Chain A
Amino acid sequence: MKPEEAARLLHAYVDRELDAAKSLELEAQLAADPALRERFARLRELSAGIREKADYHAAPSSLAARLSAALPGAASIAPRRATRWILPAAAAALAAALAVGIALVRPGDEDALLREMVASHVRSTLGNRLIDVASSDQHTVKPWLSARLPFSPPVADFSPEGFELAGARVDYVGGRPVAVLVYKRRQHLIDAFIWPGSGPRDGAYSRDGFNVERSSVEGMRICLVSDLNRNELSDLARLLIARR
């Protein structure tokens, strides 16, 4: 690879847009060329700096209200509060089910389950973000969740790695109460759905512009849902698994 070619491809490499063959070629070049390495480091720093420090202009709530009035047809989003009353009863039933060991997911339910989680994520990002306990302190969040669930989910803040714990809520998906940890990365919100059990499939999934990353570790199922890109979403999955 010629130096000009390498310099040109550096951007695509930083953006993780280079195919495997070209990446290998460029990595060999990087290993051999300190000046190129220096450029790469600066470029990555610039990109990270922009992501961290450039303003992200979230839509003012007045805009959503204007839109809601301007769209034809009646607003049909049920307030998320509607699910609240179900929770205590369902949690009690579930605790009973768990006690006798019935908590298996049939493989055919998996797709429905993913849809439910995406829907839950979407509902909670519309209007006011629903966080039942807002705290970046795992020592606040973990006991709060443990007190409301028949299991104790792993809770950790990953601010140093760029995933700030914003809080948590309890939700009800797939016929069971689940813990939802809410993380922030730049302006993206990530919901981490956690419940005891094992899943038929791990891996990535995408729906309506949202990415879902599924993994399981030590008897816990972890599903991340966000509009964040897949690479960074799997970074968080790895952190959560390592911490467990």
Chain B
Amino acid sequence: MTDRRRFEQQVLPHIDAAFNLARWLTRNDHDAEDVVQDAMLRAYRHFEGLRGEARPWLLAIVRNACFSWIRRNRPAEVAAGPDEEATAPADGPEALLARELDRRMLNEAIAALPLQFREVLILRELEDLSYREIARIADVPIGTVMSRLARARRLLAESVRVIAVASRLQTEK
């Protein structure tokens, strides 16, 4: 079987996962397309290095391509993330009722999460990856994946609540 054929069978089927991650990290269709195309060509060049499952392997390449792109184009976003390791997870509630979870608000709130929290949340909730796989992709220890995920969910619940209150005030005016 040719390399290209093997690549088409093993890697290409994960193009949706690749695009979804890139789209959430760059927050823009056009940029996500460019980044995924570069990442895919890169994946093809390093295809013989693939051991184990193709999807996490590809997502690690896409993730790195996204971070390079963000470093070049929006350096503030990479530099500015709050440090979650310094603080023990605060005992904040994830309080949030599902019926309050409006689709548009939720998507805005996820998009507004700091990059390193958005990343683990997308990999966990939308790509169904294990902590171990996420740790490998984001290049952090598993404990960091856990704390970032906890923080991401708290931030998300908090901002959805704020958005919900703000929009209620808006309609009452």
Contact = CB atoms under 8 A, between A and B. Distances in A.
Contact of A208 (B24, B54, B146): B54
B23 interface: yes
Nearest to B55: A209
Interface in B126-143: 126, 128, 130-131
B157 interface: yes
Closest 4 interchain pairs by CB? A59-B19, A57-B23, A73-B4, A209-B55
Contacts of A126: 8, 12-13
Contacts of A24: none
B44 A71 contact: yes
Contact of A59 (B15, B149, B157): B15
Contacts of A209: 10, 14, 53-56
B65 interface: no
A59 B4 CA distance: 20
A55 B41 CA distance: 26
A51 interface: yes
Interface of B: 2-5, 7-10, 12-20, 23-24, 29, 32-33, 36-37, 40-41, 44, 53-56, 88-89, 91, 93-98, 101, 103, 106-107, 110, 121, 124-126, 128, 130-131, 146, 149-150, 153, 156-157
A209 B129 CA distance: 11
A122 B107 contact: no
Nearest to A230: B128
A42 B16 contact: no
A11 B33 contact: no
A50 interface: yes
A92 interface: no
Contacts of B95: 42
A59 B37 contact: no
Contacts of B98: 45-46, 48-49
Interface string A1-23: 00010011001100101000000
A47 interface: yes
Contact of B125 (A17, A50, A70, A188): A50
Nearest to B96: A46
A189 B55 CA distance: 15
A140 interface: no
A99 B54 CA distance: 42
B149 A71 contact: no
Contacts of B88: 4
Contacts of B96: 42, 45-46, 49
Given A51-B125, A73-B2, 12 more contacts: A12-B131, A46-B98, A46-B153, A47-B125, A49-B96, A58-B20, A70-B40, A74-B4, A75-B8, A125-B13, A208-B9, A209-B53
B106 A49 contact: yes
Nearest to B59: A209
A16 to B, nearest CB: 9
Contacts of B89: 7-8
A228 interface: yes
Interface in A181-222: 186-188, 206, 208-209
A93 interface: no
21 contacts: A11-B149, A11-B153, A12-B131, A15-B124, A42-B97, A46-B98, A48-B98, A50-B110, A50-B126, A53-B107, A54-B110, A63-B37, A67-B12, A76-B4, A77-B8, A77-B9, A186-B126, A206-B53, A209-B10, A227-B17, A228-B128
A46 B37 contact: no
Interface in A16-50: 17, 39, 42-43, 45-50
A66 B5 CA distance: 17
